[in-house]
Structures are given as structure tokens and as C-alpha cells.
Structure 1
Amino acid sequence: MPTQLFDLKDRIALVTGASRGIGEATARLLAEQGAHVVLSSRKQADLDAVAASIIAGGGKASAIAAHQGDSEALARLVTEIDQRFGRLDILVNNAAANPYFGHISDTPMGMVDKTLQVNVKGYFELAALASKLMQRNGEGAIVNIASINGVTPGPMQGIYSITKAAVINMTKAFARECAPWGIRVNAVLPGLTDTKFASALTTNQEMLDHFLPSIPLGRVAQPNEIAPAVLYLVSDAASYVTGTTLTVDGGFLS
């Protein structure tokens, strides 16, 4: 077993939703460990800023805008990675949508469609495209960012929770069928994290007063506390780990 278990030198890593939050923290950490990180999200300018910061810090990064809910954009993204680098070693499926907060019975069908498109279909399509590219090199690692809501539905977050439960099962399905290709597929389940994505909860004192007593560590996570779980799962330290979920929730589900 190599002594540098977390060394990602010469590996190409694609991180979606990488312009902020957990995606940005993960991209920065993977770059610190030597990976050339391909950053992706909807807005090119935001990606360019993060990529420039990583490069200024001595890392390697490229920025390619693509919407996780756009099938053609995802296909172009993977094709461009293939053309530029000829390989893909790591995929972190992180970009997600949570457009509706309210009673599940009042969820507009348009919101259902959007959440399913991004969180389920988008994850599935990108994992399928990436795994085929990884297959050529006989190895790879995929990490899907799910949520503790996929285990215990969050209040007023019904459709989002449903999609994250699907991501957990999707992870297991890809893990089983891609293992013969040397590809490992796992999921990280963050708890409540201080990101713009979760700001409806983290900036609402009433909501915090409701959630914090249920978290044994008594606080909200920071994005850089989620990223190391991803690093572990994509690294050689997890060479015999596939089809699993790693919960990072301050003890919420314990």
C-alpha cells in the first residue's frame, strides 16, 4: 500500500457545483493534494474566479460551465475533458437543486420536475458518462453528494429529500455494476452545512433553534469539514471501499 494515501498527483478530477460551498471546498482540497481539478457549475465567471484562486495558490484547475440539469451540456462537459486530458479519474457529483421549501402536498409539479432533473437525472447521466471514460483506464472514483435528508426526510423539504434517497440507492447500483471496471462509487451524506444553498435554514434563527438541539455537536458544519470525507473516498486510502455512504452530520443520525 502506498505511503502517500491521499496523494492525487496526475489525477484529473471533475467537481460539479464547484463555484461555492461544499463543491468549492472539495475542489480546493483535491487541488491541494495534487489533482488537476475541473470545476463546473452554471456560471463561467464564478468558476473562473475559483480556478484563478486555486492556480494562484499553486494548484491546477480548469473551469468549464455546464448545467447539471442539461443533458447536452453534461455530454459536452465530459467530451471536453476527454479531448483536453484524455482521461478522468475522479467525479464528485455535487451540484443540486432545492427550489421548494414548504408542505410536500403543496409542491408545484414544476418544482418536482426541476429537482428530479438536476438531483437524480443529472447525477445519473454524469455518472454514466464519467464511468465510461474511466473504464478506458481501468480505474476511477465517483462520489455522489447526497444528504442526511435521504435517510430522514427534512421538514418542508419533501421532494429534495426524496431525490437524495434516490442518490443513495443510485450510488449502490453504480458501485455494483462498475466494480468490474475498477471504478469505486460512494456517497457522502452531509448534515446541515453553512452554505448559500442551505441559507434558508442556517440564517433563520427559528429554524436553527429547531435543528441544533438534534445535532450532538451542537453546531452547523462548515464546507471544509465535508470536503475531507470526499478526499478520503476518492483517494487510495479508500481503495477497498465502494457502495457505501459516509455520513458527516455532527451526530444527527446517531
Structure 2
Amino acid sequence: MSDMAGSRLDGMVALVTGAGRGLGAATALALAARGAHVVIASRDDAGLTATDDAIRAAGGEATLLPADLTRADVADQTGPSLYDRFGRLDILVHAAMHRAAPGAATGIDQGDWDRTWGLNVNATWRLIRSTEFLLRTAPYGRAVVLVDEGAVIPRAYAALGSASMAARRNLVLAWAEEHRRSRLRINLFDTGGVDACTDDKARLLTGLCLPSEMRHGALVG
């Protein structure tokens, strides 16, 4: 495969969660610029509309998916819905995450626990389960899950963020090990603990989604 062929995504379908802002939005725009039809998912309706407008203004194609992935029924139906609509899924970029507020382990609010664990861990597991068949059967299946590697390190007053991010990381790495002999390439991308997007981060993240990317089970960023 030539470098040019390996950089194009014409005819492919990509799902990007957390696409209402930051790295999720920038990655969705970059994937669309390479020819993918991008399904952009977020709870932020205004952010989704802004991302969609940017993609279309640049000549790309997108489908909006307003979705609260902390709801089990929504996450579980993501893969089947994509199959019904497109018959395929080539790329998954799970950029949606919740950064837990600092606090003592004994003082974690139940609502904060549910929100953080629900998006960082439960939604990740459900998306994996919901989309794996489509990704595994794609000619060049690619999955990238964003993590905050710095948050994995246990620190005082950061128990919730550390526990949820470590679980997310290890879940994805275990999934990658299960696919060592398949065509599906699964990697992690470290956001560096910053919500704001940088061009370099967006380019690096987009590169992990390309057919030419052969890394697997890697932590990049």
C-alpha cells in the first residue's frame, strides 16, 4: 500500500464519541477531510452542531448522533444502529471521558462516582461489546480510546479519577491482547491531561486511525 493510499479513508465509516469539542471534534474533522463518513456522538447538542458545520464547510460528510453513553441502552444500541444505517464500521475513536473532581476517597459523592465510572468505564465496555463485530470484520478495523495516563497514578484526593482511568486503560489493553492475531488494530491515546485540543495531538490521534497504522496495544501521545 502506498503512503497516499494508506492516508485516505474514502468509503469508510468512523464513529467519534466526545465529538462536541476538543480532540474529539478535531479528530472528527480530520477523518472527514481524509474521506471518511464520520458519525459524531456527544451529549453536547450545540457542540455537535458546531462540529457538523465545520465538517460540512470543509466538504466532508457527517451524521449526528446525540447520545448519552452513560445510558446502557444507548451504548448497547450504537453498534446495531450503525449496522442498520451503514452496514459497517471501520474506525472507533472513543474520546468521551469524564474528569473527576478532586476529593478524598471517603468523601466521593455517589453522583460523581456514577458519572465518572459510567462514562470512563461502563460506556467504554459497552461500546467495545457493541461495535467489536463490525470493527473486526472491517478491511482495516481501527479503534483508539483516549486516556489520561497521568490520572492513572494513585494520588491523594484523586481516587475516583485514578480508579476509573486505570480501569479504562486496562480494559482496552486486555481487549487488544485478545486481538493480537486479528486485523483489528487497537490503541490508546494519552491526552496529557489537557481538555484543549492542539493540532499536533489531533494529527497524531488521526494517524492511529489510518489503514497504514500497524501499532497494536500501544499507548501513544
Same fold (TM over 0.5): yes
Letter of the structure 1 residue corresponding to residue 141 of structure 2: G
Partner of 2:170: 169
Letter of the structure 2 residue corresponding to residue 21 of structure 1: G
Partner of 1:74: 75
- Of 222-231 and 146-155, deviating more is 146-155
RMSD: 2.0
Distance 1:55 1:144 in 2: 25
Shift of 1:194: 4.5
**What does 1:16-31 align with in structure 2 at a 5 Å threshold?**
16-31=17-32
* Unmatched tracts of structure 1, length 5 or more: 196-221, 249-254
Q: Does 1:185 align with 2:186?
A: yes
SS in 1 for 2:74: helix
Shift of 1:192: 3.2
Q: Does 1:65 align with 2:66?
A: yes
- Alpha-carbon contact 2:185-2:216 (below 8 Å) kept: yes
**What does 1:237-252 align with in structure 2 at a 5 Å threshold?**
237-239=212-214, 241-246=215-220, 248=221
- Alpha-carbon contact 1:66-1:77 (below 8 Å) kept: no
Distance 1:115 1:36 in 2: 30
Distance 2:33 2:51 in 1: 13
Shift of 1:47: 1.3
**Normalising to structure 2: TM-score of the pair?**
0.90
Distance 1:149 1:105 in 2: 22
Q: Deviations over 1:200-225 (max 9, x none)?
A: xxxxxxxxxxxxxxxxxxxxxx3433
Shift of 1:17: 0.6
Partner of 1:234: 209
Q: 1:110 to 1:158 in 2, by over 3 A?
A: same
**What does 1:154-165 align with in structure 2 at a 5 Å threshold?**
156-165=157-166
Distance 1:20 1:155 in 2: 29
- Of 223-232 and 150-159, deviating more is 150-159
Distance 1:193 1:154 in 2: 18
Distance 1:27 1:10 in 2: 15
Moved over 6 A (4+): none
* Unmatched tracts of structure 2, length 5 or more: none
- Alpha-carbon contact 2:52-2:64 (below 8 Å) kept: yes
Q: Give the number of the structure whose alpha-carbon radius of gyration is greater.
A: 1
Distance 1:159 1:234 in 2: 30
SS in 2 for 1:13: strand
- Alpha-carbon contact 1:139-1:181 (below 8 Å) kept: no
Q: Deviations over 1:66-95 (max 9, x none)?
A: 112111112333222112211000001111
- Alpha-carbon contact 1:193-1:223 (below 8 Å) kept: no
